[in-house]
Structure 1
């Protein structure tokens, strides 16, 4: 028997329809913890200071309320926080202390598109939010130091793991255009059903 493109298409439909039953719609809570690191948007020329690390790093926490509308689509209001610092001893005499840090609470909403398969389901998500706290971007070309509420744009991708995709590992980016900085996060999470 010769397999044609139509046969592969029919097998794909049968296979994917049985897998989507492992995904559930409904309401969930997700808790995440991880490490975040902020840096400037700009490529800097530090001259004699090329070895100086100006990136801040620290604890990242986030909670999400998940509204699962389809097996592959969900809406996710979120609240979280990131607390960063930099090494204050850069061992450079008579040089400014360059640094990029974010210490803020994060609120917003995003949407997720996920492959509706069990065990290993890749996802991507984005949205819009606000960061409320202190932002420092002090580099040779940027001098931003404010405690304020700023717009941020989240962009996340990762893998939902397990038979019911309850565990997650992912990478997130929070872009703060006003502060000319972005925060990259590596986090792990767990999803709890509310039903």
Structure 2
């Protein structure tokens, strides 16, 4: 785990070097409806909350971006399943997110579908309680971010998408339906 964290920190700091392969830079801010659910059992359990994320966007090509990010996911249980029946099961996350991801997109004018994948760390408090899991953890865990969405607008400055963080250590998915805005840097 420590090796992964050291790798992420070194990888993120390496972007301070001005590289000729970076075509454009921008800052992206995302906000959304946060969700979390257990991997195993309790499939009717979806806890909700808030999702915020900021990204430093490095455009390598019209079809490829590198995106170091930091964010926040706050989900809590209301004690009910998706059918509004009482349940003891839950999957909660209160965590700071940090990492890096790569975005591959179709360079289509006005609307560009994209997919992202990367690696990062979640730092906070987590609880997964389902028929097959009973995990309570505080601290640093690794996650694998994955997103699908659309970049919209003439300059692709707006986005809408689904973003999820697979958290194997706590047997939980956390993520959001999010919207975002990119601001170009000079």
TM-score in terms of structure 2 length = 0.82
Give 2:71's aligned residue.
Answer: 80
Unaligned runs of 5+ in 2: 1-21
1:33 equivalent to 2:44? Answer no
Give 1:55's aligned residue.
Answer: 46
Q: CA RMSD in A?
A: 1.8
TM-score in terms of structure 1 length = 0.78
Deviation for aligned residue 1:91: 7.0
> CA 1:91/1:70 → structure 2, altered by over 3 Å: closer, same or farther?
closer
Map Cα deviations across residues 116-156 of structure 1 (whole Å, 9 max, x no partner).
12210111110000000001001121110111100000000
Structure-to-structure mapping, 1:12-27, within 5 angstroms = 25-27=23-25
Conserved? CA contact 1:121–1:159, under 8 Å = yes
Structure-to-structure mapping, 1:1-195, within 5 angstroms = 25-44=23-42, 54-88=45-79, 92=86, 97-195=88-186
Structure 2: distance between partners of 1:139 and 1:44: 5
Conserved? CA contact 1:31–1:63, under 8 Å = yes
> CA 1:37/1:181 → structure 2, altered by over 3 Å: closer, same or farther?
same
Conserved? CA contact 1:56–1:102, under 8 Å = no
